Structure 1
Amino acid sequence: MKIVVVSDSHGRNDILNAIREKHPDAGLFIHCGDLEADPMFYPGYIVVRGNNDYYGRFEDERIIPIGKHRIYVTHSHRFSYFSRSEQLSNRAKALNCDIVCFGHTHVAYLDQVDGITLLNPGSLSHARDGRPCSYAILDIDENEIRVEFKFEPEW
Structure 2
Amino acid sequence: MNVLIISDSHGLTEEILKIQARHADHIDAMIHCGDSELASDHESLSGFHTVRGNCDYDSKLPKEIITEVESVKFYITHGHLHNIKTTLMNVKYRALECNADIVCFGHSHIAGAEMIDNILFINPGSIRLPRMRKERTYAILSVENFVATLTFYEVDGTVVNDLSATFNFDR
Q: TM-score range by the shorter chain?
A: over 0.9
Cα offset for 1:90? Answer: 1.5
Match of 2:137 in 1: 134
Which residue pairs with 1:34 in the alignment?
35
The gaps in structure 1 that reach 5 residues or longer are none
Q: Which runs of 4+ in 1 moved over 6 A?
A: none
Q: Matches of 1:54 and 1:139 in 2, distance apart?
A: 31
Instruction: Map 1:37-52 to 2 at 5 A.
Output: 37-41=38-42, 42-52=45-55
Matches within 5 A, 1:3-18: 3-18=3-18
The percentage of counterpart residues that share the same residue type is 33
Instruction: Establish whether residue 19 from structure 1 lines up as the match of residue 23 from structure 2.
Output: no
Structure 2 residue ranges without an equivalent (≥5): 158-171
Aligned to 1:82: 86
Q: Secondary structure at the match of 1:40?
A: coil
- The one of 99, 102, 105 aligned to 1:102: 105
Structure 2 CA distance for aligned equivalents of residues 61 and 129 of structure 1: 26
**TM-score between the two structures when normalised by the length of structure 2:** 0.84
Contact 1:67/1:142 (<8 A) preserved: no
Aligned pair count reads: 153
**Counterpart mapping for 1:53-92 below 5 A:** 53-55=56-58, 57-80=60-83, 81-83=85-87, 85-92=88-95
Distance (whole Å) between structure 1 residues aligned to residue 135 and residue 92 of structure 2: 27
On the 8 A contact 2:52/2:58 being kept in 1, the answer is no
| Distance (Å, rounded) in 2 between the aligned partners of 1:90 and 1:113 | 11
TM-score by length of 1: 0.92
Q: How far apart are residue 142 of structure 1 and its match?
A: 4.1
Aligned partner of residue 10 in structure 2, secondary structure: coil
